[in-house]
Structure 1
């Protein structure tokens, strides 16, 4: 019988944040009156984790997870698979801590993310996936490398310690909100495998239990939302691609799923057109450059699928790792 994954406690996530705060930036909490007027919300706050080291929140969980390695594991190094942002976060954290990092990436991951990962000193191994799910092929290659080279195998999101490390974004936001005498009614955060929203949802569950949490996913990749509705993890069938490259996991991780169940989160989906419009809005109204995956939560707010009238809303904007050419192409189609 499988044991339930650990759900990090409030003390656990606070200990993780105390450590990761030494190596990460405190990203700002931006209030947008323009977004509040457009949506009818009382107040809208956006936390742009796109301004974090390595361009996304991922360095928070990566740094905390690397700090849990034994001295021998740290000496030999680690291997993980990622389509981009975890790759960069782990590579950056490994560079700071002096731990060798190998990243397995699908060959069709964005070139800007591959180059940035290598730029942080990581060894990048590319995989061809054909008609198979790309994360499954990359994960198999990472397991092979771990076994043959004796490296510690890290999962990009399905790890309670990753969840605990990512919770720092939520704890930080809560501190910033308290400083403005604000409390959040609705929280929108996007989901790939669920590491970030797993941690953020726990922070709000423990410290702001009245906040309603929405897990935002691309259409066709709503494994978390479907799993939450069903009460058990569900794997989505292979379907058309999404422009949200970092959110195309077919099933949530067990550790994030357990965290979101504990927090009572709900699922919501967004289409590519809505994401492009959100990227444009973020750029024009807030001067934020977001990659498609990083703009999904804003797309959910703007899409009108949730009644936000008179509510205070927090949007977690998760990543800004997009090339200028790709960003401009999305803007032309917005």
Structure 2
């Protein structure tokens, strides 16, 4: 289902947070909302759901979400918040079953069909073995999958994820993003995520929306949005953006090509980084290398190698030059 936001304004506590935001997300695609802290990314998702007062229009497949009752809206759009409330002592299965609430009558109980849906979702997310485990006994990666399971149990066509990789290590970040991508392709979901990691955003999303100061500063394919000037202006980061090496196509719909593959290198004096913000193979993460002066000259803090997802990059050049000169 296509999601369209037109002229969205949000003010919280008398302070404008979003101003005239318009976004279009084609059906079956993945759009990542990026931007500096305080740009209004999370507020945008909450406004789409009607969780905060707003002005403007939000439609899904041409249907005005604001005109729908909450129960009906929950059958159209599912939401996984950045900091979900995970009741202590509640089991994984019971929490997943909460996703069936829009289909359970008032004062009624879940049906065998609802329990079957919850069990099927847990199976798809490889959580069946944890069904009876209390939520407070889960690891960070397991909690993220359980929150996603609850959202999937709503059986909607639109999935909104607020910072799905928050507080996860590099391996669990990749696992969560791969899982979302597989589910999107299998179920033809329309996915909208907010995310701080530009590397992950460009690797997995079909399109990016850059929010800054409550307005849309740029929107389009990753290669068009993540430019050197845009990163400098809106993130206050001095970087070098250059094409990254092309990799073999994969099953991911946003396979790297000359349009959206970019490499960003930090050029702030005294620091070095290797960062490929797009490209599925190899999917390098943001890795600060840095350097230190020794009796034998400058040596990279990373030991000459910047760590990526399960592999290493070639030795960096920090040992060969004074990083204060940049490169």
TM-score range, shorter chain: under 0.3
Structure (1 or 2) with the greater strand fraction: 2
TM value normalised by structure 2: 0.28
Greater Rg by CA: 2
Structure (1 or 2) with the greater helix fraction: 1
Answer 1 or 2: higher relative contact order, Cα 8 Å, separation at least 6.
1
TM value normalised by structure 1: 0.27
